[in-house]
A and B are shown apart, each in its own frame.
Chain A
Amino acid sequence: KAGVTQTPRYLIKTRGQQVTLSCSPISGHRSVSWYQQTPGQGLQFLFEYFSETQRNKGNFPGRFSGRQFSNSRSEMNVSTLELGDSALYLCASSLGDNQETQYFGPGTRLLVL
């Protein structure tokens, strides 16, 4: 099976812009979670989607949003980018049956200038 794919792998934006990141889960996986990884904060949970519904949400401002499509692919959007949004954004997929094992994509590295 193909693994979790994320596009783009690298992105450079300027403050105030918005960005959309994409994640394609492993075939058959219905849950997609998003994480922000920074050197100082480690992995911070953003949100989880299951069957097109947001099932869990972390403590991030409303500028961070996401959605999931009927084929389980997911996108996350960050509006009004700030310098502090520079990070590696990781997507993880799982079956969604609470078996907990998540499979991670390679991430999208976002740099905000």
Chain B
Amino acid sequence: AQSVTQLGSHVSVSEGALVLLRCNYSSSVPPYLFWYVQYPNQGLQLLLKYTTGATLVKGINGFEAEFKKSETSFHLTKPSAHMSDAAEYFCAVSDRPGGYQKVTFGIGTKLQVIP
């Protein structure tokens, strides 16, 4: 069975500092990996995804993530935090049991940006 572990349910960074949100996964097949962001009272918005090919994936709003198979990780980074980045971030993994996708989400990490 697939699973996702997000280290740190709450992360605080200063405005302008590096953002690093950690995600480790387990999957019995080569996974598809996702990062979503959720702002208060809204649904989830896709930040970026890894399917195949280049392991460094660039997403919206300056975020990127690197797929490291040997470490089973897909950490999300942004060089310089902005106040508008304050939100909850979800890592997700997808495999395809029986040919149909099943997406499993991590518990989420709330990012606080300190002025």
Contact = CB atoms under 8 A, between A and B. Distances in A.
Given A90-B43, A98-B96, A45 B104 contact: yes
A41 B51 CA distance: 26
Given A42-B107, A43-B90, A98 B46 contact: no
B: interface residue count bin? 20 to 34
Nearest to A105: B43
Max count, chain B CB within 10 A of own CB: residue among A33, A92, A102, A105: A102
B44 A42 contact: no
A56 B94 CA distance: 13
Tell me the interface secondary structure of chain B in the complex: strand
Contacts of B45: 104
Interface string B100-115: 1111111110000000
Given A43-B90, A100-B51, A90 B100 contact: no
Contacts of A4: 43
A64 interface: no
Contacts of B36: 104
A29 to B, nearest CB: 13
Contacts of A107: 42-43
Contact of A42 (B32, B99, B102, B105): B105
Nearest to A104: B43
A: interface residue count bin? 20 to 34
A48 B94 CA distance: 14
B101 A42 contact: no
Nearest to A97: B101
Interface in B41-93: 41-46, 49, 51, 90
Contact of A45 (B49, B96, B103, B108): B103
B99 A98 contact: yes
Interface of A: 4, 33, 35, 41-43, 45, 48, 50, 55-56, 90, 92, 98, 100-107
Interface of B: 32, 34, 36, 41-46, 49, 51, 90, 94, 96, 99-108
Given A42-B108, A100-B101, 6 more contacts: A41-B107, A43-B90, A92-B43, A101-B46, A102-B46, A106-B42
